[in-house]
Amino acid sequence: MYPSIQFHFQLYSWILLISTILALGIAIMISKRRDNLSVKYLVLLEIAVAIWSFAGVFEAAAPTVALKQLWSQISYIGITTSPVFYFLFALAYSQNEKYCTKRNHILLFIFPVLTIIVVATNSWHHLHWTNITINPETNNGIYSYGPFFWVFIVFAYSILLSGIIILIFARRHFSDYFKLQLLALIIASVFPFAGNVIYVFKINPIPGLDWTPVAFMLTGLILALSIFKFKMFNLIPIARNNIVDTINDGIIVIDNNNRIVDINRAILNMIPQQTGEFIGSIITNLPELWRHTLTAIPENSNGYYEVAIGEKEKKEYYDIHTETIYSRKNKKIGQIFIIRDISKRKQFELEREKLIEELQDALTQVKTLSGLLPICASCKKIRDDKGYWHHVEAYVMKHSDAQFSHSICPDCRQKLYPDIPRHKD
């Protein structure tokens, strides 16, 4: 279309090209975790930024007003969609996926689509740009804004600020480890916003230079550092809203790769180490006894298991309830272990069983003694276990509830009192 026109690629254009490559690189790095909704939105955000930056490469190098307007129109594909993708990412990452519905997607993208149409047809109405000139010293395009541009700015800034506020308020629901991730995301979000404010409101030290794509390069560097330093998006807070630090049961959450995603405070009473030492590591990095216990539970199993940890006097008992965690599309994304210390209850049960056993032994011994009573063949006295002899009546009354009443049987009466006549019955 412009065969005889030469683009003038300067330092700014190369910076924008680096920003483009960095955005695409981040999208590729995190796309392996695209089963997570927040990662999907971030991939789309990075693609939108890449389109914005790539179009900016040629817009900055274009020597004519017509070419600058053309590449600016192309850049608006990324400019208009990036705030929406950022807002959706903030919702999903803060565990508010319930708002990421198809209906809300349509509502959020109505205005960006309208803006792209208005920008593409600007030459007919000049509602977005009223005039475009070129700074002869820097070759930067100087844009004069129409009324629709300010409407778009209100929309874009509102949705960007909403996303940042969502992430800020989400920090209180995350563990310390994920708060570092979230802080990195918030800082990364501020740079492009600040760069765009400098450009739009013409407080620019270099007139016509759009600092927003440059700021996105800094954002990309922060995200890249977070990916390698904090393993961001290798670990996603998939269940944090369901894990609260106020409950007494210990909780461990792992992802599909058996990496520990989160643990709550109660588990620290059971595992005497700091939380940060476990999050992000493989479950086999737990203390030896815990490692053998949790890995012995069948994978993807749901149910209750009673385990004993330790030996003899130091043995502790735990009730472990395990459940598989599924995404909204019924795809497995992890597993949760709910652990309850039942050592006291188990100790009580063991003591009760021991007492019952002792009582049964005592009862057996009583029955044995009652069957081996030494009795005098002449006077019929009974000898106790201390060697003393007792009358039968005294011994039986002492060792039972029986009471004696004395009388004379007919045979003894005839023998002792033969003169007393017998009464006929």
Q: Which of 230, 174, 219 is nearest to 195 (CA)?
A: 219
Alpha carbons 314 and 413: distance in angstroms, whole number: 72
Cα distances from 310 to residues 152, 304, 313, 343, in angstroms, run 65, 20, 8, 11
Which residue matches tokens 């539970």? 297
- Specify the 3-state DSSP secondary structure of 137: coil
For residues 146 and 127, is the Cβ–Cβ distance under 8 A?
Answer: yes
For residues 19 and 49, is the Cβ–Cβ distance under 8 A?
Answer: yes
- Specify the 3-state DSSP secondary structure of 204: coil
Residue 368: phi and psi, rounded to 5, are: -65, -45
Q: Which of 61, 49, 64 is nearest to 14 (CA)?
A: 61
User: Quick one: residue 80, left, alpha or beta (phi over 0 = left, psi -120 to 50 = alpha)?
Assistant: alpha
Alpha carbons 409 and 398: distance in angstroms, whole number: 24
- Range 269-275 contact pairs with CB under 8 angstroms and sequence separation of 24 or more: 269/341, 270/318, 270/339, 270/341, 275/175, 275/176, 275/177
Radius of gyration of the chain (CA): 42
Domain covering 240-341, topology:
Beta-Lactamase (3.30.450)
Domain parsing of the chain, residue ranges: 11-229, 240-341, 342-372, 373-425
Low-confidence ranges of the chain (pLDDT < 50): 1-2, 239, 241, 275, 367-369, 425
Cα distances from 148 to residues 61, 107, 126, in angstroms, run 26, 19, 9
- Range 267-273 contact pairs with CB under 8 angstroms and sequence separation of 24 or more: 267/339, 269/341, 270/318, 270/339, 270/341
Would you state the pLDDT for residue 115?
Answer: 96
Instruction: Pull the structure tokens for residue 61.
Output: 């190098």
76: CB partners within 8 A, 6+ apart = 115, 116, 119
For residue 296, the tally of other CB atoms under 10 A from its CB is 9
Q: What is the DSSP letter of 143?
A: E
Q: What is the DSSP letter of 423?
A: P
pTM for the model stands at: 0.61
The neighbouring-strand residues paired with 251 are 338
Alpha carbons 175 and 187: distance in angstroms, whole number: 18
Alpha carbons 408 and 425: distance in angstroms, whole number: 15
Task: Report pLDDT digits (tens) over 81-130.
Answer: 988 998 998 888 877 878 888 999 999 999 999 999 999 999 999 999 99
The DSSP line for 63-122 is -SHHHHHHHHHHHHHHHHHHHHHHHHHHHHHTT-GGG--HHHHHHHHHHHHHHHHHHHTH
Would you state the pLDDT for residue 339?
Answer: 82
Supply angle C-alpha 95, 96, 98, rounded to 5: 125
